[in-house]
Amino acid sequence: MTALIHPVKACVLLLLLAFCAQPVQAFRRVATTAAPFLKLGEDARSAGMAGATVAQAGAWEAEWSGAGNLQVNAASLAGAQDRSFFLSHEQRMADLRHGALGLSLPLGERSAVSLGASWLQAPDQEITTLEDPEGTGATYSYGDLALRATMSTRLSDRLAVGGSVKWVRQDLHREHAQGAAMDLGLLLDTGWRHLRLGMALANFGPRLRLEGEDLLVDGGNGQPALLETQEFQLPLLFRVGLSDRLWQHEGQRLDAAVQAEHPNDSRQNVRLGLEYAWRERFFLRGGRHLHRDLEQSAVGLGLRLPLGEGRFVSLDYAWTAQERFTPLQLITLAITY
C-alpha cells in the first residue's frame, strides 16, 4: 500500500506551514485597501473547506469543473466539458448581503470561458448630523460590484493556466470609485498520486480613489473647490496550495488540501480543508483557518442530483465560525448541463 506521506510532499507541506508560521508583524495594514469585498468567498463548496481550494484541479477532476472556484484560482475551469451556472448568497454581519453568480462555457477540449459578477450591499441608512442627531430624513446607500471575464486553458496534460479581467466599482451615497483589475492562476498535476499544486495572484490593478459631486465645496469668496481624496490599493492576494486524495474505495473518496496566503493588508495565514464524497452525490466538508483574525472553523454539506444526459444540479452549504461575531452561512446553487 502506497504511503500517504511522501518525503517530497512532506517537505513542501512544511514549507507552506512555515510560510504562515512567522511572527505577527508589528504593523498590519488592516483597512488600508479599497474594495475588500473582493476577498470574500463566493462558493459554498470552497467555504466548507475553509477556502483551501487553490489547488482543486478542475482540469483533471470533473467534480471541480464549475465556475464557482474561479474567485480562488482562475485556472480551475480549464478542461471543463460542460456548461455550468452558479448562484450564491451569504448574509453577513450588520445586514450586509453578499452574493455572486457565474456562467461558464467550454471551448474545445482544453479551454473554457466564464462571465461572472459578485456584489456586497448594505441596506439604506439614515443620515445624521451634529445639527440633526436623530436624522435628517434623508438616507444614504453603500454597495460594491465586480464584473469578471475569465479564460482557462490546459497547456499540457499536467499544466493549466487561467486569467480574469475584472471591473470593480464601489458606491457610497453620491461618491464612487472604480477601476480594472486582473487575476492569474496556475494548476499543476505533479504526476504522483492525485497531488496537485495551485498558485494564484488576485486583484492586481491600480489604486482606487473616491470621486463625486459631494467633494465639490465652497472654497471661499464664491470660488468652488474640489476636495482631494486619498488613493487606496486593491486587496492584492497571493495564494499557493496543495491538494491530494488520501483515500478512495468503491465510489467513496477523501481529499485534503492545504493553502497559504499572503495578503497586502494583513498577516500571512494558512487554510486546511477536507472533503469526503459518496458516489459524487453526497459531500461532507470541513476546514480550519489559521492566523485569521475572525474566521475559525468551517463545515459544509453538498448534494448533487442527476438530471439525465450528463446534467445535474448541486446544492452546497457552508457554515463558518467567527470570533466575536455570528457565524457566516453561504449557500450555492449550481447547474451543469
Euclidean distance between CA atoms 237 and 35, whole angstroms: 13
Provide the mean pLDDT of the chain.
87
C-alpha cell at 73: 484560482
> Tens of pLDDT along 210-228?
898 888 888 877 788 888 8
Grid-cell match 474566521, residue found: 295
* Helix and strand element counts for the chain (H, E): 2, 17
> Tens of pLDDT along 91-122?
888 788 999 999 999 998 899 999 999 999 98
Euclidean distance between CA atoms 206 and 282, whole angstroms: 42
Q: Collapse the DSSP code of 290 into the 3-class scheme (helix H, G, I; strand E, B; otherwise coil) and give the result.
A: strand
pLDDT band at 257 (very low <50, low <70, confident <90, very high): very high
Residues 6 or more apart whose CB falls under 8 angstroms from that of 134 comprise 128
Displacement of CA 196 from its chain's centroid (Å): 19
Kindly report which listed range (14-23, 62-71, 147-156) carries the lowest average pLDDT score.
Answer: 14-23
> Tens of pLDDT along 110-166?
999 999 999 999 888 888 888 888 888 888 888 999 999 999 999 998 999 999 999
Q: Collapse the DSSP code of 39 into the 3-class scheme (helix H, G, I; strand E, B; otherwise coil) and give the result.
A: helix
pLDDT value of position 184: 96
Hey, what domains does the chain have and what are their CATH numbers? 30-124+140-207+233-336 (2.40.160.40)
